[in-house]
C-alpha cells in the first residue's frame, strides 16, 4: 500500500492530500479531476476514488484565484420583497443550478448608488450579473456592461444584452379590452420615475389611447408597493376616470384594497388592470385582470444569454436581446364602464 498521508485532524482534504494518497503529483491530481483527458484512465480512476474517500471538495476560492472564474453569477434585484422578483429568482436559480453555477442574490433597495457600489465591491466575486430592473442610468449601465458581462431584464440600452418582457404591446391589448367594455377615460398609475419600464408602459398607453380615440392621463409617480396603493386609489378616484392601468400588480392590489375600504365597487365603479401577474393576482379580491408576463422564463433566458456569452466572448458582437411576449389575462377586476349622467 502507498503511504497514506492523512489530512490533519478533521481539516478538509486538499488537493495535496489527494495527490499524496494517490501517489501522484499535485498537478496530476488537479488534471485528473478537472481535465480528464489529460491523464491516463487508470490513473484518473484511482485519483477519483481517493478523492471520494477523502471527501475532497475543491476550494472554490483557490480555484477562482488562478482561473479567474468563480462560477458564480450575481442577481441584482431592486427589492427582494417584490413578488415580481420571486419568479425571476426562481428562474435564474433553476437555470444556474443546471449549469453548475452558484447564485449570489443582491438587493439594491431601489438605489442606483447601492447598485453601482455593490457591483464594484463584488465584481471579483462573480463572473457575470443579471440586472433585474436596473435603476442605473444608461451611461452607467453601458459603462458597467463594458467591464463586466451583464444581462439586463426589462431594460434596453444599446450595447447591453437584455431580456425584454414586452408589456407595452400587452398594454395595447389591455386598452382594447377596456375600450370594448365602454371605457373612454383611462388613467395610468405611474411607478417610480427611475424605472425604465414605467416610461415604456406609459408611452404604449398613450399611443393606444390615440389609436382608440380615448382620453389618457397619468397619476403618480408611486412607489411600486402595496401600501402606495392607497394614495394611488385616491388619485385615480379624483381623476374621475372609469378605468386604470397600474404600473404593476403590487400597486394594483394596493388600489384594490383601498377601494374596498372606501366602498368603491370594482369593477362596478372602476375597472383595474395590473401588470405582471405576480403571486397573488389570481386570489385577491376581486381577482385581478392583468398582463401576464413570463417572469420565470425571463430569468431563465437571461441566464442562458449570460452563460453563452461567458463561454464565448466573441458572441458579444451579435445582437443579444430577447423579447418575451405578454398576454392579457382577464379576471374579475374589469367590467363594463359605469353609465355616467
Residue 87: Cβ within 10 Å count: 20
For the chain, what is the radius of gyration of the CA atoms? Answer: 26
Question: Is 311 exposed, middle or buried, given 0-12, 13-18 or 19+ CB atoms closer than 10 A?
Answer: exposed
Q: Is residue 24 a contact point for DNA (CB under 7 A)?
A: yes
Binder of its own copies out of 19, 20, 73, 107 (CB under 8 A): 107
Taking the complex as a whole, how short is the minimal distance between the CB of residue 28 and its own copies, in angstroms? 22
Binding mask 118-137 for its own copies (x = CB under 8 A): --xxxxxx------------
d(CA 337, CA 168): 23
Taking the complex as a whole, how short is the minimal distance between the CB of residue 313 and its own copies, in angstroms? 14
Q: What residues have CB less than 8 Å from 58, skipping those under 6 apart?
A: 15, 33, 34
Q: Is residue 211 a contact point for its own copies (CB under 8 A)?
A: no
Taking the complex as a whole, how short is the minimal distance between the CB of residue 173 and its own copies, in angstroms? 25
**What is the β-pairing status of strands 327-329 and 289-292?**
antiparallel
Binder of DNA out of 5, 38, 268, 321 (CB under 7 A): 38
Coil/strand/helix, residue 34: helix
Q: Is residue 80 a contact point for its own copies (CB under 8 A)?
A: yes
Q: Count of residues binding its own copies (CB under 8 A)?
A: 44
35 binds, among DNA, its own copies, none (CB under 5 to 8 A by kind): DNA
H or E, element range at 309: helix 295-311
Q: Is residue 316 a contact point for its own copies (CB under 8 A)?
A: no
Nearest residue to 154 via CA among 139, 136, 140: 136
Torsion sign across C-alpha atoms 18, 24, 27, 33 = negative
Binder of its own copies out of 41, 65, 98, 211 (CB under 8 A): 65
Q: Is residue 43 a contact point for DNA (CB under 7 A)?
A: yes
56 binds, among DNA, its own copies, none (CB under 5 to 8 A by kind): DNA
33 binds, among DNA, its own copies, none (CB under 5 to 8 A by kind): DNA
Q: Is residue 14 a contact point for DNA (CB under 7 A)?
A: yes
Q: Is residue 52 a contact point for DNA (CB under 7 A)?
A: no
Nearest residue to 132 via CA among 120, 150, 118: 150
Cis peptide before 221 (omega within 30 of 0): yes
Which residues would be at the binding site for its own copies (CB under 8 A)? Answer: 10, 12, 55, 57, 59-62, 64-65, 70, 80-81, 83, 86-87, 89-90, 93, 97, 102-107, 120-125, 147, 226, 253, 256-257, 279-280, 282-286
Amino acid at each position: 500500500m502507498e503511504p497514506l498521508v492523512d489530512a490533519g485532524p478533521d481539516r478538509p482534504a486538499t488537493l495535496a492530500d489527494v495527490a499524496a494518497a494517490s501517489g501522484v503529483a499535485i498537478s496530476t491530481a488537479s488534471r485528473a479531476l478537472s481535465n480528464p483527458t489529460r491523464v491516463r484512465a487508470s490513473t484518473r480512476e484511482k485519483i477519483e476514488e481517493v478523492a471520494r474517500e477523502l471527501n475532497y471538495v475543491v476550494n472554490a476560492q483557490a480555484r477562482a484565484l488562478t482561473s479567474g472564474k468563480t462560477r458564480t453569477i450575481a442577481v441584482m434585484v431592486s427589492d427582494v420583497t417584490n413578488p415580481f422578483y420571486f419568479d425571476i429568482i426562481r428562474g435564474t436559480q433553476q437555470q444556474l443550478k443546471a449549469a453548475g453555477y452558484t447564485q449570489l442574490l443582491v438587493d439594491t433597495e431601489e438605489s442606483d448608488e447601492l447598485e453601482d457600489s455593490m457591483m464594484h465591491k463584488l465584481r471579483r466575486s462573480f463572473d457575470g450579473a443579471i440586472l433585474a430592473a436596473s435603476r442605473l442610468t444608461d451611461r452607467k449601465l453601458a459603462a458597467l456592461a463594458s467591464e463586466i458581462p451583464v444581462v439586463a431584464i426589462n431594460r434596453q440600452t444599446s450595447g447591453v444584452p437584455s431580456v425584454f418582457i414586452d408589456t407595452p404591446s400587452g398594454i395595447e391589448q389591455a386598452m382594447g379590452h377596456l375600450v370594448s367594455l365602454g371605457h373612454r377615460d383611462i388613467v395610468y398609475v405611474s411607478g417610480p420615475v427611475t424605472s425604465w419600464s414605467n416610461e415604456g408602459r406609459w408611452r404604449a398607453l398613450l399611443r393606444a389611447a390615440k389609436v382608440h380615440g380615448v382620453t389618457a392621463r397619468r397619476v403618480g409617480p408611486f412607489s411600486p408597493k402595496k401600501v402606495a396603493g392607497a394614495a394611488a386609489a385616491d388619485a385615480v378616484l379624483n381623476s374621475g376616470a372609469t378605468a386604470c392601468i397600474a404600473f404593476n400588480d403590487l400597486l394594483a392590489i394596493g388600489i384594490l384594497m383601498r377601494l374596498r375600504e372606501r366602498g368603491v365597487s370594482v369593477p362596478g365603479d372602476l375597472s383595474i388592470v395590473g401588470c405582471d401577474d405576480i403571486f397573488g393576482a389570481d386570489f385577491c379580491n376581486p381577482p385581478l385582470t392583468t398582463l401576464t408576463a413570463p417572469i420565470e422564463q425571463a430569468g431563465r433566458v437571461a441566464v442562458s444569454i449570460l452563460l453563452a456569452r461567458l463561454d464565448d466572448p466573441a458572441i458579444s458582437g451579435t445582437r443579444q436581446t430577447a423579447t418575451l411576449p405578454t398576454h392579457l389575462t382577464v379576471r374579475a377586476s374589469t367590467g363594463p364602464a359605469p353609465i355616467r349622467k
